[in-house]
Amino acid sequence: MSVRTRIAPSPTGDPHVGTAYIALFNQCFARVNGGQFILRIEDTDRERSTAESEQAIFESLRWLGLDWDEGPDTGGPYGPYRQSERGDIYRKYCTELVAKGHAFHCYRTAEELDQIREQLRQEGRTALKPSDLTLPEGEMAKRIANRAPYVVRMNVPASGVCLIEDMLRGKIEIDWAQVDAQILLKSDGMPTYHLANVIDDHLMQITHVLRGEEWINSAPKHRLLYEYFGWQMPQLCHLPLLRNPDKSKLSKRKNPTSILYYQRTGFMPEAVLNYLGRMGWSMPDEREKFSLSEMRSAFDLQRISLGGPVFDVEKLSWLNGLWIRELSNEQLAERLKAWLFNREYLLKVLPHARDRMETFSDFAPLVGFLAAGQLPLTEADFTVNRLTLEEQKKLLQFALWRFEALSSWNKDCIFTEVKTLAMAMDIKLKDFNASLFVAISGTTASFSVMDAMELLGPALSQARLRHAVVLLGGVGKKVLKRWQKAYSELF
The catalytic site residues sit at: 252
Q: Interface residues for ligand GLU in 22-51 (CB under 6 A)?
A: 42
Sequence-ordered strand ranges (E) for 14-127: 36-39, 103-106
- Which residue blocks in 158-312 are alpha helix, DSSP H? 193-203, 219-229, 259-264, 269-277, 292-297
Q: Which residue is nearest to ligand GLU (CB)?
A: 211
Tell me which of 212, 245, 457, 474 binds ligand GLU, using CB under 6 A.
Answer: 212
C-beta separation of 88 from 50 below 8 A: no
Least distance in Å: CB of 244 to ligand GLU?
A: 18
Tell me which of 4, 9, 206, 441 binds ligand GLU, using CB under 6 A.
Answer: 9
Cis ω for the linkage preceding 80 (within 30 of 0): yes
Name the segment binding ligand GLU (CB under 6 A); options: 82-90, 151-159, 208-216, 406-414. 208-216
- Distance separating alpha carbons of residues 295 and 308, to the nearest angstrom: 20
- β-pairing, 4-7 vs 36-39, is parallel
Give just the sign of the alpha carbon dihedral 176, 8, 190, 77. Answer: negative
Indicate the DSSP class of residue 356. Answer: G
Q: Which is nearer to ligand GLU, 10 or 36 (CB)?
A: 10
255 binds ligand GLU (CB under 6 A): no
Least distance in Å: CB of 42 to ligand GLU?
A: 4
Least distance in Å: CB of 72 to ligand GLU?
A: 14
State CA 55 to chain mean position distance: 14
Q: Interface residues for ligand GLU in 424-463 (CB under 6 A)?
A: none
Name the segment binding ligand GLU (CB under 6 A); options: 134-142, 209-217, 357-365, 451-459. 209-217
- State the number of CA atoms in the 13 A half-sphere of 358 facing the CB: 0
223 binds ligand GLU (CB under 6 A): no
- Distance separating alpha carbons of residues 120 and 129, to the nearest angstrom: 10
Least distance in Å: CB of 168 to ligand GLU?
A: 15
Q: Which is nearer to ligand GLU, 71 or 442 (CB)?
A: 71
83 binds ligand GLU (CB under 6 A): no
Least distance in Å: CB of 8 to ligand GLU?
A: 4
Q: Which is nearer to ligand GLU, 7 or 195 (CB)?
A: 7
3-state secondary structure of 394: helix
Indicate the DSSP class of residue 422. Answer: H
Name the segment binding ligand GLU (CB under 6 A); options: 7-15, 228-236, 447-455, 483-491. 7-15
8 binds ligand GLU (CB under 6 A): yes
Tell me which of 197, 263, 274, 462 binds ligand GLU, using CB under 6 A.
Answer: 197
Classify burial at 36, counting beta carbons within 10 Å of its beta carbon; exposed 0-12, middle 13-18, buried 19 or more. buried
Q: Which is nearer to ligand GLU, 194 or 393 (CB)?
A: 194
211 binds ligand GLU (CB under 6 A): yes
Least distance in Å: CB of 20 to ligand GLU?
A: 11
Q: What angle do CA 307, 309, 314 make, to 5 degrees?
A: 145
3-state secondary structure of 372: coil
C-beta separation of 260 from 60 below 8 A: yes
Residues that bind ligand GLU (CB under 6 A): 7-10, 42, 197, 211-212, 215
